Chain A
Amino acid sequence: MTMVKANNVKKSFGTTEVLSGVSFEVQKGDVIAVIGPSGSGKSTMLRCLIDLEQVSDGSIFVENNPLVVDGVYSSGDERKTVTSKMGMVFQHFNLFPHLTVRQNLELAPKTVKKLPSAEIRNLSDMYLEKVGLLNKADSYPASLSGGQKQRVAIARALMMSPDVMLFDEPTSALDPELTGEVLATIKKLADERITMIVVTHEMGFAKEVANKVFFMDNGEFIEEGTPEQIFNTPTHDRTREFLNSILK
């Protein structure tokens, strides 16, 4: 089943074109690593999928529901329905600093989905357990390390039971010794076959966890393949150059 489909997506900031016609498909259970140089449009692509950025042209479908078709957006309600199928984890966590860890997890299910509180409590216990932070449930984000914050952010996104998880450079703001715990958490989700798109600079992670790697450069979708194909036998010069530059 196709979870996400992007077709010829274009996006400009002013006169600078950041996405020049990107197309791809993500199947259910896919774990996609999106790699490429800084400024290649990876994050912008991800943000367009969940309606944080507006595309200038092209189409995006999530589980066959249109977010935008040939540059024309669906109605407000439909956009909300489409984006609600996805969860997102940000580079800078974006936890709510005025709420405890548990409140961070529970606020959206409570106010947006209006789930019964017993059910919400079960969910938050389960996801805090999963990210290994049940003992921090009553702490405020300010007292957590970066790695812990990001694991809370992952749990918070999972609380809304998304069909697709988007990760926007989830470890880029972390000290090197803290990236491991976050990557391990994401790997755990991958093992459960949760559909994920991960924009990352962690090539080791891309190799080990992803079943598909997308390579982007200069606003273009250059190639996709299994990690073996992309890392061992890239077909494109630009992919080769990029890999050479970072693996040196």
Chain B
Amino acid sequence: MSLEYISKILPLLLKGAGTTLSLFFIVIVLAIPLGFIVTLLAKSKFPPLRWLSNTYIFVMRGTPLLLQLVFIFFGFPIIGIFLNNTFDAPMLANLFRLERFQAAVLGFTLNYAAYFAEIFRGGLLAIDKGQYEAAKVLGFSRYHTTTKIIFPQMIRVALPAVTNESITLIKDTALLYAVAVPELLHFAQAAVNRDFNLTPLFIAALIYLVLVFVLTIFFKWLEKRFRFQ
């Protein structure tokens, strides 16, 4: 476990960590709002929207993320070719041919949005119906009731579960190997195999821990801000 060896492999591991982090941030930024939209659809008064939302959640939670990633990366181009052959639409076909990283972002976002949707649904269930009644008698529109009264309270209830899910996401990024995007764990494993040395794995573990630690601190701070006392 010489310092020299560590300094030799560290740049590559950090590069992998960079990929891990960028996937993490893009997915969080996309999946949380999408999840909230899915929650609202699940509560819609229009039944088809409810079915759509519930089916989406069922499929996304009911199949492995790995399967979804493989399907999007390898399956979509096949659908594209089929569409091209059937409708002679190369533009359409191109839409289905995604870069590796794009495919990963799409897969992770769709999958995590389903989980976030369920977390937010739980948050909404925790809100007393008196809050809706108070909002109604004060004349708030449905939109303002949601944005100004329900949403901030839901966030507070949902935060611990969102923290949990975010930590899982950091570690799930290792699934990027399924679409052959090299990330932290990939580089570490490659080094282990090449050098017959476990050090890279320990360093990778340390990097994951640091990432999760920073994330935990951030969410703790958020929770404090949403304590309302």
Residues of A within 8 A of B (CB): 50-52, 80, 83-84, 86-88, 90, 92, 94-99, 107-108, 111-113, 140, 142-143, 156-157, 160
Contact = CB atoms under 8 A, between A and B. Distances in A.
A3 to B, nearest CB: 16
Which 7 pairs across A and B sit closest by C-beta, in order of nearness?
A94-B134, A94-B130, A108-B138, A88-B137, A112-B139, A98-B152, A98-B228
Nearest to A99: B228
Contact of B229 (A84, A140, A156): A140
B153 A156 contact: no
Contacts of B148: 107, 111
A207 to B, nearest CB: 28
Contact of B139 (A94, A99, A108): A108
Contacts of B136: 51-52, 83
Contacts of A156: 138
Interface string B136-149: 11111100100011
B133 interface: yes
Contact of B137 (A87, A95, A143): A87
B94 interface: no
Contacts of A90: 130, 133-134
Contacts of A80: 139
B228 A160 contact: no
Nearest to B127: A97
Taking residues whose C-beta sits less than 8 angstroms from the other chain, chain B's interface range is 20 to 34
Interface in B111-162: 128, 130-131, 133-134, 136-141, 144, 148-149, 152-153, 156
B228 A112 contact: no
A111 B137 contact: no
A50 B139 contact: no
Contacts of A97: 153, 228
B229 A142 contact: yes
9 contacts: A80-B139, A86-B137, A90-B133, A94-B131, A96-B134, A96-B149, A98-B156, A99-B228, A160-B138
A109 B171 CA distance: 47
Contacts of A92: 128, 130
A120 to B, nearest CB: 14
Contact of B153 (A83, A98, A107, A160): A98
Query: For B134, B138, B139, which residue has the most chain A Cβ atoms within 10 angstroms?
Result: B138
A78 to B, nearest CB: 14
B139 A84 contact: yes
Contacts of B144: 111-112
Query: For B128, B137, B141, B148, which residue has the most chain A Cβ atoms within 10 angstroms?
Result: B137
Nearest to A111: B144
A140 B156 CA distance: 15
A107 B133 CA distance: 15
B139 A83 contact: yes
A83 to B, nearest CB: 7
Nearest to A166: B137
A90 to B, nearest CB: 6
